[in-house]
Amino acid sequence: VMFYRLLSIVGRQRASPGWQNWFSARNSTSAAEARSMALPTQAQVVICGGGIMGTSVAYHLSKMGWKDIVLLEQGRLAAGSTRFCAGILSTARHLTIEQKMADYSNKLYHQLEQETGIQTGYTRTGSIFLAQTQDRLISLKRINAGLNVIGIPSEIISPKKVAELHHLLNVHDLVGAMHVPEDAVVSSADVALALASAASQNGVQIYDRTSVLHVMVKKGQVTGVETDKGQIECQYFVNCAGQWAYELGLSNEEPVSIPLHACEHFYLLTRPLETPLQSSTPTIVDADGRIYIRNWQGGILSGGFEKNPKPIFTEGKNQLEIQNLQEDWDHFEPLLSSLLRRMPELETLEIMKLVNCPETFTPDMRCIMGESPAVQGYFVLAGMNSAGLSFGGGAGKYLAEWMVHGYPSENVWELDLKRFGALQSSRTFLRHRVMEVMPLMYDLKVPRWDFQTGRQLRTSPLYDRLDAQGARWMEKHGFERPKYFVPPDKDLLALEQSKTFYKPDWFDIVESEVKCCKEAVCVIDMSSFTKFELTSTGDQALEVLQYLFSNDLDVPVGHIVHTGMLNEGGGYENDCSMARLNKRSFFMISPTDQQVHCWAWLKKHRPRDSSLLLEDVTWKYTALNLIGPRAVDVLSELSYAPMTPDHFPSLFCKEMSVGYANGIRVMSMTHTGEPGFMLYIPIEYALHVYNEVMSVGQKYGIRNAGYYALRSLRIEKFFAFWGQDINNLTTPLECGRESRVKLEKGMDFIGRDSLLQQKQNGVYKRLTMFILDDHDTDLDLWPWWGEPIYRNGQYVGKTTSSAYSYSLERHVCLGFVHNFSEDTGEEQVVTADFINRGEYEIDIAGYRFQAKAKLYPVASLFTQKRRKDDMELSDLHGK
Partner 1 sequence: MCVCPGPRRIGIPVRSSSLPLFSDAMPAPTQLFFPLIRNCELSRIYGTACYCHHKHLCCSSSYIPQSRLRYTPHPAYATFCRPKENWWHYTQGRRYASTPQKFYLTPPQVNSILKANEYSFKVPEFDGKNVSSILGFDSNQLPANAPIEDRRSAATCLQTRGMLLGVFDGHAGCACSQAVSERLFYYIAVSLLPHETLLEIENAVESGRALLPILQWHKHPNDYFSKEASKLYFNSLRTYWQELIDLNTGESTDIDVKEALINAFKRLDNDISLEAQVGDPNSFLNYLVLRVAFSGATACVAHVDGVDLHVANTGDSRAMLGVQEEDGSWSALTLSNDHNAQNERELERLKLEHPKSEAKSVVKQDRLLGLLMPFRAFGDVKFKWSIDLQKRVIESGPDQLNDNEYTKFIPPNYHTPPYLTAEPEVTYHRLRPQDKFLVLATDGLWETMHRQDVVRIVGEYLTGMHHQQPIAVGGYKVTLGQMHGLLTERRTKMSSVFEDQNAATHLIRHAVGNNEFGTVDHERLSKMLSLPEELARMYRDDITIIVVQFNSHVVGAYQNQE
> Taking the complex as a whole, how short is the minimal distance between the CB of residue 99 and partner 1, in angstroms?
34
Using N-to-C axis directions, what is the helix angle for 2-15 and 188-201, rounded to 10°? 150
Among 155, 253, 333, 684, binds partner 1 (CB under 8 A): 333
Number of neighbouring beta carbons within 10 Å of residue 172: 7
> Taking the complex as a whole, how short is the minimal distance between the CB of residue 310 and partner 1, in angstroms?
13
Q: 559 vs 482, 521, 546, 552, 581, CA distance in Å?
A: 29, 24, 15, 11, 8
Is 24 a binding residue for partner 1 by CB under 8 A? The answer is: no
Please tell me the distance from the alpha carbon of residue 319 to that of residue 311, in angstroms, as a whole number.
13
Read off the DSSP letter of residue 116.
Answer: H
Among 162, 339, 678, 715, binds partner 1 (CB under 8 A): 339
> Taking the complex as a whole, how short is the minimal distance between the CB of residue 261 and partner 1, in angstroms?
15
The interface with partner 1 within residues 303-332 (CB under 8 A) comprises 314-315, 319, 326-330, 332
Q: In terms of CB distance, is 171 or 336 closer to partner 1? A: 336
> Taking the complex as a whole, how short is the minimal distance between the CB of residue 361 and partner 1, in angstroms?
20
Identify the CA nearest to 393 among candidates 799, 91, 24: 91
Please tell me the distance from the alpha carbon of residue 340 to that of residue 356, in angstroms, as a whole number.
20
Is 827 a binding residue for partner 1 by CB under 8 A? The answer is: no
Using CB under 8 A, which of the segments 285-293, 349-357, 543-551, 611-619 binds partner 1? Answer: 349-357
- For the purposes of burial, counting CB atoms within 10 Å of the CB of 662, is it exposed (0-12), middle (13-18) or buried (19 or more)? exposed
Q: In terms of CB distance, is 200 or 356 closer to partner 1? A: 356
Q: In terms of CB distance, is 332 or 506 closer to partner 1? A: 332
Q: 2 vs 14, 189, 754, 799, CA distance in Å?
A: 18, 18, 43, 48
Number of neighbouring beta carbons within 10 Å of residue 784: 18
Q: In terms of CB distance, is 46 or 339 closer to partner 1? A: 339
> Taking the complex as a whole, how short is the minimal distance between the CB of residue 351 and partner 1, in angstroms?
5
Is 336 a binding residue for partner 1 by CB under 8 A? The answer is: yes
Buried b (16+ CB within 10 A) or exposed e, 79-116: bbbbbbbbbbbbbbbeebbbbbbbbbbbebbbebbeeb
> Taking the complex as a whole, how short is the minimal distance between the CB of residue 442 and partner 1, in angstroms?
20
Give the per-residue SS3 of 703-769: EECCHHHHHHHHHHCCCCCECCCECCCCCHHHHCCHHHCCCCCCCCCCCHHHHHHHHHHCECEEEEE
Give the total of residues touching partner 1 (CB under 8 A).
25
User: What is the pattern of x (binds partner 1, CB under 8 A) and - over residues 354-383?
Assistant: x-----------------------------
The interface with partner 1 within residues 630-659 (CB under 8 A) comprises none
Please tell me the distance from the alpha carbon of residue 361 to that of residue 310, in angstroms, as a whole number.
12
Q: In terms of CB distance, is 336 or 705 closer to partner 1? A: 336
Q: In terms of CB distance, is 164 or 328 closer to partner 1? A: 328
Please tell me the distance from the alpha carbon of residue 77 to that of residue 32, in angstroms, as a whole number.
12
> Taking the complex as a whole, how short is the minimal distance between the CB of residue 340 and partner 1, in angstroms?
6
- Which residue type, as a one-letter code, is found at position 372? S
Number of neighbouring beta carbons within 10 Å of residue 727: 18
Q: In terms of CB distance, is 337 or 831 closer to partner 1? A: 337
CA Rg, the chain, in Å? 28
Is 660 a binding residue for partner 1 by CB under 8 A? The answer is: no
Is 350 a binding residue for partner 1 by CB under 8 A? The answer is: yes
Among 349, 367, 588, 814, binds partner 1 (CB under 8 A): 349
The interface with partner 1 within residues 563-622 (CB under 8 A) comprises none
Q: Per DSSP, which regions of 40-194 are E strands? A: 45-48, 69-72, 88-89, 123-124, 127-131, 155-157, 176-180, 184-185
Please tell me the distance from the alpha carbon of residue 676 to that of residue 627, in angstroms, as a whole number.
4
> Taking the complex as a whole, how short is the minimal distance between the CB of residue 268 and partner 1, in angstroms?
8
> Taking the complex as a whole, how short is the minimal distance between the CB of residue 747 and partner 1, in angstroms?
56
Q: In what order do the strands lie in the sheet with 703-704?
A: 653-658, 661-667, 676-682, 621-627, 522-525, 703-704
> Taking the complex as a whole, how short is the minimal distance between the CB of residue 319 and partner 1, in angstroms?
8
Please tell me the distance from the alpha carbon of residue 574 to that of residue 565, in angstroms, as a whole number.
5
Among 337, 611, 695, 864, binds partner 1 (CB under 8 A): 337
Q: In terms of CB distance, is 330 or 833 closer to partner 1? A: 330
- Which residue type, as a one-letter code, is found at position 58? A
Is 270 a binding residue for partner 1 by CB under 8 A? The answer is: yes
Q: In terms of CB distance, is 340 or 423 closer to partner 1? A: 340
Among 346, 395, 548, 632, binds partner 1 (CB under 8 A): 346
Please tell me the distance from the alpha carbon of residue 125 to that of residue 776, in angstroms, as a whole number.
40
Is 20 a binding residue for partner 1 by CB under 8 A? The answer is: no
User: What is the pattern of x (binds partner 1, CB under 8 A) and - over residues 667-696?
Assistant: ------------------------------
Report residue 512 CA to chain centroid gap.
31
> Taking the complex as a whole, how short is the minimal distance between the CB of residue 132 and partner 1, in angstroms?
20
Where on the chain is the footprint of partner 1 (CB under 8 A)? Answer: 268, 270, 314-315, 319, 326-330, 332-333, 336-337, 339-340, 346-354
